[in-house]
Amino acid sequence: MIAQDALRRAVPLLRDAGIEDASRDARVLLAHALGIGHDRLTLKLQDDLTDAQAALYDEALRARMARQPVAQITGRRLFWGLSFRVTRDTLDPRPETETLVAEALKEPFLKVLDLGTGTGCILLSCLKGMPLARGLGTDISDAALQVAVGNTRDLGLEARARFRKSDWFASVTGTFDLIVSNPPYIAADEMAALAPEVRDWEPGLALSPGGDGLDAYRAIAHGAGARLMPGGRLLVEIGPTQGAAVAEMFRAEGLQDIRVLPDMDGRDRVVVAVKPGGDRCGAA
């Protein structure tokens, strides 16, 4: 069977399984089976599939029909122009989170802390964009930390990024001129409505803290002041209805210059706050 025929067969299978963009996913998974970038797939559509390639494509299609995310099947996700390893132990990096990285890079920093680092995508993207900076990523999951360490090696950032197991600030020492986080923020009663790709395949601890979904922000707001340098910035990703509540938590802890930023779709996505004092120049 040539690759093009395999692709034609795959698209209706994925569509019948409820996959929203069946054509795109079928192409990405075929490129994965062929061991090429999906931007080169058109050049290979008339080639015969080997038995091994056909078996790998069938396996990938079965996984996708079971609603496993594409990034978990291929093991990779592009974020901020960089390729990150992804497993079931980490959140799948999302384009909306690039809003946080873009804001972080608008001002210089030398020491960055990423709370709940997961794949390390936020920390490592920030370090790629700020060549003199160093960073610490923390997570409560040993498996997630292993993924982050692997991504650090892949991106050549071993000299500037380190990782530590920590429940928010519990094992963190020192101060930073930038703290970033994409914490779990989905309320317990919202979990059932999530897409199967998220609800059934991504780590529950990284999705929801339970209750109203705001417990992580309470911990971050309470601990950030002691770990921020004067003039240091705090940036957190939020759910689209949480901006006002998180901003008020930060305000109550004495942080200032608080702003709620939209993502590319115009939804509230990032809350920014600053510790009073300092010259905001990123000096350590």
Write the secondary structure of the chain as one string of H (helix), E (strand) and C (coil): CEHHHHHHHHHHHHHHCCCCCHHHHHHHHHHHHHCCCHHHHHHHCCCECCHHHHHHHHHHHHHHHCCCCHHHHHCEEEECCEEEECCCCCCCCCHHHHHHHHHHCCCCCCEEEEECCCCCHHHHHHHHHCCCCEEEEEECCHHHHHHHHHHHHHCCCCCCEEEEECCCCCCCCCCEEEEEECCCCCCHHHHHHCCHHHHCCCCHHHHCCCCCCCHHHHHHHHHHHHHEEEEEEEEEECCCCCHHHHHHHHHHCCCEEEEEEECCCCCEEEEEEECCCCCCCCCC
* pLDDT < 50 positions in the chain: 281-284
Calpha distance 142→157 (Å, rounded): 20
pLDDT (0 to 100) of residue 281? 46
Calpha distance 234→47 (Å, rounded): 51
Calpha distance 217→11 (Å, rounded): 41
pLDDT (0 to 100) of residue 280? 52
Calpha distance 104→232 (Å, rounded): 11
pLDDT (0 to 100) of residue 283? 35
- Which tens digit of pLDDT belongs to each residue from 182-217? 999 999 999 999 999 999 999 999 999 999 999 999
β-pairing verdict for 176-181 and 228-237: parallel
> What's the chain's average pLDDT?
95
pTM of the model: 0.93
- Which tens digit of pLDDT belongs to each residue from 171-185? 999 999 999 999 999
pLDDT (0 to 100) of residue 279? 65
Calpha distance 196→159 (Å, rounded): 38
